[in-house]
Every structure is written in structure tokens, then in C-alpha cells.
Structure 1
């Protein structure tokens, strides 16, 4: 499969060797919902892969938690219980005192929550790689004040050196509702 083309501001991510959660997530960059009543078979396959296909049957339903469950599982970790509920990811792994590359970020939003993966930050926003952001896997800026939890993967050996804070330039609008 060809590597996805990232926006210029995030092209540096293509050279990142880890953490594995990030690498798995980047491989899915650009996956889109199918418009109308049909669903993208790739997203439905994620539900089968993670054993969530009894609960998840249409990409009309929020799928940020499904995306994170898929990449976490592919990276060798166990997703949280009921991973389709974004706020449940606040129980994943260990608390990250300082969000860093590859950490799972949980946000509040009108009507529920949102979950994605930290790729960086600027003075006022987290840069988040996630599913169901503009109906696709994309990177968006989310206001820092919306963060509910930052969680780190439960590394079995040593934390990868790539897990570090990343300072980025502010650019683009803030996302206000990822549903």
C-alpha cells in the first residue's frame, strides 16, 4: 500500500519511526466515510478486526473511538472497554503528565467526546491525528481547553525515544466539533 500524502506542515511525520501507535495511525491517513447511506468497507473492516462489528455497523455513527481501537490493537496494545465511547479512552494506559508524540488525547465536545492521537501542539491547540475528523482520518487543531485526559501506551519494556513533546506553528482553524 502506498504511503499517504500528508499536508506540508506534517510531512515530517512520514520520517518518524515510532511510536508504533502513531505509525499505524499514519498508515490510515486520508480514509474517508462514504457519503449517503452506504458505509466505507474499510471502516467496517476495522469494526470486524477489533471485534466491534456487533455494535458498529455504519460510518454514519461516530468512529473516532473505532479508529483509535484499530491502531492501538495493531500496535500490540489492548483497547479500553467499550472503545466506541470516546471518553472511555481516559482509562487507557497510564496518565501522561506532559502530552507527547503518540499519546492518546481525550476531548470534550458538544454531544459527547472525541479521541485522537497527539502529533504536536502550538500555543493554544493540540494537533490531533484522528478518525471522524471532517468525516475522515485527518490532522486537526483542537483547543487546549477541551482536553479531558492525555494517556500514554502501557509500554512493556522501555518507552520509545520518539515519545516527546512536539512544538508546531499554529496554522489553520480550530476544530469545533469532530462528529
Structure 2
């Protein structure tokens, strides 16, 4: 009986990151298409900030993490702070639902991995052309993947 309980606990522990990642991707997709101006009232209520006036990719990820039962990093509003979220994963092993941090010029952006190709990472996130959508980033821009 103890062996069965141990095996069940190990099974759940191994699957939890995958379930959480799937949950983050599913949560992000529920907001897809919302725009910071056209849907300002909805996004403002969900994020607790005015997305038309504040960089909000980190705020969006904080919302998604909490709705998925995960704890965002302390300074979640800053995209770079997501480098301290969860556990690190090499880009080669990234899966849909992982959190991806990319370098954009002098700043950073964070989103949920939707798909990965040989040359790009497709992220769904907030503050991508003013809304929640899937955008492509070159793999060379990726500075961190977290699970």
C-alpha cells in the first residue's frame, strides 16, 4: 500500500509542471483578441492597471499564472523578473505552455510559448501590438525559458 501511495505521489509530482503549463496556455488563449483600447474596461478590471498607459506583458502573465494556480515572481510586472519563475528549461526542450522571456531591443518581453520552430518562438501574451495575440520572435531573442 505504501509503495502504491509513493508511486501515485511521484506520478502527480512529475505531471504537475505539464498540467500547470497547459493551464497557463489555456488561460492565455481565453483572452486572445482583447485589445488595450477597444477592450480597455475588461483588461483594466482583469489586470488592475490601465493597459493603454502601462507596459503590461508582465501584468498579463501575472494574471495567467494566478489563474493557473501558480505564483508569479515578486516583481511580475517587469518582464525580466520572469527569469526567476518556476524552473529553467533549455530552449531545445521548451514545450507549449512554458514561459518565455525575449530580448526586444533595450527591453524584455514575456509570454507563453504557443509553438516553437527551427527559427522562431510563437508566444501568446499581452501587450503584443496592443493586445493579447500570438506573435513570432526569433529564437535568438530568447533569453530564458521557465516551466
Q: Same fold (TM over 0.5)?
A: yes
Counterparts of 1:73 and 1:32, CA distance in 2 = 21
The aligned counterpart of 1:19 is: 22
Stretches of structure 2 lacking an aligned partner (at least 5 in a row):
1-20
Describe how 1:86-97 pairs up with structure 2 within 5 A: 86-97=79-90
Quote how far apart the aligned CAs of 1:58 are.
Answer: 4.4
Aligned residue runs from structure 1 range 24-173, under 5 A: 24-34=27-37, 40-48=40-48, 56-97=49-90, 98-152=93-147
User: Which runs of no fewer than 5 residues in structure 1 stay unpaired?
Assistant: 1-17, 49-55, 153-179
Q: Normalised by the size of structure 2, how large is the TM-score?
A: 0.79
Q: Counting strand residues as a fraction of each chain, which structure ranks higher?
A: 2
Q: Give the TM-score of the pair, scaled to structure 1.
A: 0.66
Greater RCO (Cα-Cα under 8 Å, separation 6 or more): 2
Report the 3-state secondary structure (helix = DSSP H, G, I; strand = E; otherwise coil) of the residue aligned with 1:106. Answer: strand
Instruction: State the 4+ residue runs in structure 1 displaced beyond 6 angstroms.
Output: none
C-alpha distance after superposition, 1:34-78 (max 9, x if no partner): 17xxx8112211233xxxxxxx44422211111111111000011
What is the RMSD of the two structures over their aligned residues, measured on CA atoms?
Answer: 1.6
